[in-house]
């Protein structure tokens, strides 16, 4: 029996306890699960079972599981709506502040105000403080549950602060040092506190070189800082270096996952998060791109129609249309993927735009030349016509070079203009490559028509 099967059997037993009103056995079994598994168990329940569960678990116990639950907007709203308002408010207040804010951002203003009004003033104030930050910024993903001390404390005193704050802090691996104005002046690790003498002053062992992010920084830039420095948490400050909160690595993993999903959705021209959606709703989301690409495809068909006479005089040319357009489209998609990745890693922003474009042209020429020579040899032998092979090979080389340039240039241009480069999706680049490939192919072929008659 593998681990997943064991978990499913465990879930079935816990559900049995729930259905049979065996309160203590249910609580012991549920609370013995890892928090992630608690969330998985919760999501596996029917609405009737979840309502039953609320009478056996405190809001704090449900909040611990909700901190690790990720669901779509409508499902999350349903979860909250089936709870008593006072229970839901207590559950949100018991969650880590940044996670509670994520939940409330899914709701309308009236619903948010209702839950905040049912919380204590202190709890509501912490949540309101984060609600006003713009989406996808450091402020929107930070938490205010962190540990801070002052520089003139001793290690003994700092450990006492840490012990009293550890229960509510989201992480205790880093302890931030602030001055009387709550400005960030240093950082110290839990390890430093453990290995130093109790009477040592924090100012003597803290690091004054603190890497921090600004509250308005884009969340993806924050993720890049995590990647560069391998931190578990980063402090978030305002323009005057006041410590406002911290961003933890678990939130950054979610950011990276969301960015990767967004990029993949853009490259594929579809929302890859539509798993489980109703067919009609999924189709509605896919149709806009398909209709747009349909019109671009019609442009390609119209262009081929303009060369109808050429094709009728040398029908052999029609055999290789899909070969050239398909290969060029593949080359463009490869270049697009590399360009989006380069932009995601910030490599393109630190490099010369012209140098990168020149590099992509050279890459296109090399790949195009090798592919062109290969198809030239194949066609020349297969059809016994070196001139036809030359036309196909030259068209292939030119089409791949142009597609390679477009796949790199378009996302970089969009990034410079402030748009998401992943919107330059694979299907769009492929369709654009079809258009340019047909134009290149028939123009080259028209120069050698006398050899095909």
Residue 405 is encoded by which pair of tokens? 């340039």
- pLDDT tens-digit map of 424-449: 566 777 778 888 898 999 989 888 88
Q: What is the pLDDT of residue 378?
A: 92
Q: How far is Cα 242 from Cα 407, in angstroms, rounded to an integer?
A: 43
Architecture of domain 148-256: Roll (3.10)
Phi, psi of 280 (to 5 degrees): -65, -45
Residue 408 makes CB contacts below 8 A (sequence gap 6+) with 335, 336, 338, 339, 356, 357, 360
H-type helices in 345-385, by residue range? 353-383
Instruction: List the chain domain ranges.
Output: 3-136, 148-256, 279-451
Three-class HEC string of 257-314: HHHHHHHHHHHHCCCCCCCCCCHHHHHHHHHHHHHHHHHHHHHHHHHHHHCHHHHHHC
Residue 103 is encoded by which pair of tokens? 């939940």
Instruction: For residues 209-224, give the mean pLDDT.
Output: 91
Low-confidence winner among 334-338, 376-380, 393-397 (lowest mean pLDDT):
334-338
- Cα 120 to its chain centre, rounded Å, is 34
Q: How confident is the model at residue 16 (pLDDT cuts 50, 70, 90)?
A: very high
Residue 130 is encoded by which pair of tokens? 């984060």
- pLDDT tens-digit map of 279-304: 776 677 667 767 776 777 787 788 78
For domain 3-136, the question of CATH label 1.25.60.10 is answered with yes
Judge whether 421 and 428 are in contact, CB under 8 Å. Answer: no
Q: Report yes or no on whether pTM surpasses 0.85.
A: no
- pLDDT tens-digit map of 335-370: 877 877 777 666 545 456 677 778 888 988 999 999
Secondary structure class of 149 (helix, strand, coil): strand
Of 3.20.10.10, 1.10.357.20, 2.130.10.10, 2.60.40.10, the CATH number of 279-451 is 1.10.357.20
Q: How many CB atoms lie within 10 A of CB 198?
A: 11
């Amino acid at each position: 029996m593998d681990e997943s099967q064991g978990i499913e059997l465990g879930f079935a037993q816990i559900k049995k306890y729930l259905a049979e009103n065996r309160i203590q056995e249910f609580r012991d079994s549920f609370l013995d699960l890892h928090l992630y598994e608690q969330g998985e168990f919760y999501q596996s329940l029917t609405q009737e079972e979840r309502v039953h569960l609320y009478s056996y678990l405190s809001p704090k116990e449900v909040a611990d599981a909700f901190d690790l639950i990720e669901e779509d907007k409508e499902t999350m709203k349903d979860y909250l709506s089936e709870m008593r308002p006072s229970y839901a408010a207590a559950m949100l207040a018991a969650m880590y502040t940044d996670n509670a804010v994520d939940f409330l951002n899914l709701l309308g203003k009236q619903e948010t105000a209702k839950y905040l009004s049912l919380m204590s003033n202190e709890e509501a104030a912490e949540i309101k403080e984060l609600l006003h930050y713009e989406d996808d910024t450091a402020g929107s993903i930070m938490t205010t549950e962190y540990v801070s001390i002052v520089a003139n404390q001793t290690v003994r005193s700092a450990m006492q602060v840490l012990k009293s704050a550890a229960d509510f802090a989201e992480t205790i691996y880093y302890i931030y040092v602030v001055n009387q104005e709550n400005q960030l002046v240093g950082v110290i690790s839990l390890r430093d506190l453990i290995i130093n003498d109790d009477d040592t002053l924090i100012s003597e062992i803290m690091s004054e070189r603190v890497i921090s992010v600004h509250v308005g920084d884009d969340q993806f830039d924050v993720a890049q800082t995590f990647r560069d420095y391998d931190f578990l948490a980063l402090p978030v400050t305002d323009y005057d270096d006041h410590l406002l909160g911290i961003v933890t690595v678990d939130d950054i993993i979610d950011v990276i996952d969301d960015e990767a999903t967004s990029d993949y959705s853009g490259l594929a021209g579809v929302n890859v998060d539509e798993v489980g959606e109703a067919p009609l709703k999924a189709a509605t989301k896919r149709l806009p791109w398909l209709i747009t690409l349909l019109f671009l495809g019609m442009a390609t068909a119209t262009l081929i129609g303009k060369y109808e006479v050429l094709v009728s005089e040398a029908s052999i040319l029609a055999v290789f249309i899909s070969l050239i357009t398909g290969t060029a489209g593949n080359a463009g998609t490869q270049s697009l993927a590399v360009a989006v990745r380069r932009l995601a890693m910030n490599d393109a922003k630190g490099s010369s735009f012209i140098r990168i474009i020149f590099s992509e042209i050279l890459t296109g020429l090399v790949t195009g030349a090798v592919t062109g020579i290969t198809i030239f040899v194949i066609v020349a032998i297969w059809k016994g016509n070196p001139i036809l092979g030359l036309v196909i090979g030259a068209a292939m080389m030119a089409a791949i070079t142009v597609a390679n340039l477009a796949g790199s240039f378009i996302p970089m241009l969009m990034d410079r203009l402030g748009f998401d480069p992943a919107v330059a999706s694979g299907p769009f680049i492929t369709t654009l490559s079809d258009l340019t490939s047909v134009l290149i192919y028939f123009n080259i072929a028209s120069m050698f028509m006398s050899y095909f008659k």
